[in-house]
Amino acid sequence: MSHENMEYVHPLPVRIWHWVNAAGFVLLIITGFQIRFAEYLGYMSFEAAVTVHNWVGFIVIADYFLWFFYYFITGKIRIYYPDLNTFIPRVIKQAQFYGYGIFIGDENPHHMTAENKFNAMQQKAYVMLMFILVPLQLITGLFLWDLTRFSSLVDFMGGVKIVDTIHVFLFYFFVTFMIVHAYLATLGHTATAHMIAMFTGWEEHH
């Protein structure tokens, strides 16, 4: 494959994390629906759904720590930090592109590189996602896995109803996020360009 006009943006550890995480979230969503709506759904038993949900949850937790330590140790975690001096103008410009420019063939104002991977809107979203919402979902899931072992922490958070409500609310959020994320992944110069790049590591500049 010729790498002319292409840049290596997604290292192998990042690609492995991404696809393990994606598969894990899909399985968590499928089993989560079965657990939550057991009286209406029957594609697996409640017990099997709980077992799969728990094991996949532990895999996703381990995968998250692998992501965090890789980005922290390599210093790549800085790609999540926006340049505050230019952040607001870049958000406005990117929002204009998504809301209007993309439909009339304007050029994307953000050009992805290994050191500048996310546009301003993505940086804002992923900081919230990866450093607040994902950890909160994993923590509440861990607490619900063993309420006895984590009873003091559950009480500290306001009780099992609060923990469960947070977990379920974030569950619906991540269902929505997966749909939006899949759509945004089609906005490359072809509908599959970004998806292919997450397998090969190479993003094509077009």
> pLDDT per residue over 69-120, tens digit each?
999 999 989 888 878 888 899 999 999 998 889 888 888 888 888 888 898 8
Is there a contact between 67 and 138 (Cβ–Cβ < 8 Å)?
Answer: no
The CA distances from residue 31 to 128, 134, 173, 201, in Å, are: 25, 18, 16, 30
The CATH architecture of the domain made up of 6-204 is Up-down Bundle (1.20)
> pLDDT per residue over 2-50, tens digit each?
556 788 999 999 999 999 999 999 999 999 999 999 999 989 999 999 9
CA 52 – CA 57 distance, rounded (Å): 8
CA 10 – CA 30 distance, rounded (Å): 28
CA 165 – CA 90 distance, rounded (Å): 35
Secondary structure of residue 127 in the 3-state scheme: helix
pTM of the model: 0.87
Is there a contact between 192 and 3 (Cβ–Cβ < 8 Å)?
Answer: no
Nearest Cα to 57, choosing from 168, 180, 141? 141
pLDDT at residue 193 is higher than 80: yes
> pLDDT per residue over 141-161, tens digit each?
999 999 999 999 999 999 999
User: Domain locations in the chain?
Assistant: 6-204
Got the DSSP string for 47-58?
HHHHHHHHHHHH
Helices and strands in the chain: count of H runs, count of E runs: 8, 2
The CA distances from residue 7 to 77, 111, 112, 113, 202, in Å, are: 19, 11, 9, 7, 5
